[in-house]
Chains A and B, each alone.
Chain A
Amino acid sequence: SQTIHQWPATLVQPVGSPLSLECTVEGTSNPNLYWYRQAAGRGLQLLFYSVGIGQISSEVPQNLSASRPQDRQFILSSKKLLLSDSGFYLCAWSVLGGGNTEAFFGQGTRLTVV
């Protein structure tokens, strides 16, 4: 069966520090991968998605970047965190191809920038 791992679960970082959140998927190949952010009490905002190794699409301009160094690994990074980067970050995967498949989410990382 497929599983998705996301870590760390919680993170407190000072303003200006770097960030690296990692997500890996097991039990499937060539997945679509996504990073979403959820601000406190708000909906989900799509940050990045990837349909293959090295293929990253950004949905909104921001202080963050994403990379996909391996088929089932998706990394969210920042060189210098801002207070506004605080939030709940969720990684997700779906089957590559048509739209008739659901997304499966990791357990999320709660990031607090202080």
Chain B
Amino acid sequence: AQKVTQAQTEISVVEKEDVTLDCVYETRDTTYYLFWYKQPPSGELVFLIRRNSFDEQNEISGRYSWNFQKSTSSFNFTITASQVVDSAVYFCALRSSNYGQNFVFGPGTRLSVLP
């Protein structure tokens, strides 16, 4: 079975604080892909990053960074020096080659960045 858990339902931080959003996944497949999406108040899901299961190298993009650890089945997302515009719901998702074409999403984490 495929499953994605985001244990943090809601997080509130003050602007300029760092924040980490947790994502834990379950899959029996050896080849799979992990994603993070941002859903601002407008509702549209915005793709942030894709990571392949065979590439555990962490990635940094500006204030965003992702930590992929296969040993703990986690793919955590850190925002450094958060800004009010980062306020959104963030979804982690899983897709595997042996599970057809489907994306399995976690329940999401609502991040509120207060000025």
Chain A residues near B (Cβ < 8 Å):
32, 34, 36, 42-44, 46, 49, 51, 57, 59, 88, 90, 92, 94, 96, 98-108, 110
Contact = CB atoms under 8 A, between A and B. Distances in A.
Interface stretch (B12-20, B59-67, B68-76, B91-99): B91-99
A88 B43 contact: yes
B105 to A, nearest CB: 4
A49 B101 contact: yes
A99 B43 contact: no
Contacts, number: 63
A101 B52 CA distance: 10
Interface of B: 31-33, 35, 37, 42-47, 50, 52, 91, 93, 95-97, 99-108
A108 B43 contact: yes
B91 A43 contact: yes
Contact of A46 (B42, B52, B102): B102
Given A43-B107, A100-B50, A105 B101 contact: no
Contacts of A49: 100-102
A104 B42 CA distance: 15
Contacts of A99: 31-33, 95-97, 99, 101
B112 to A, nearest CB: 14
A62 to B, nearest CB: 16
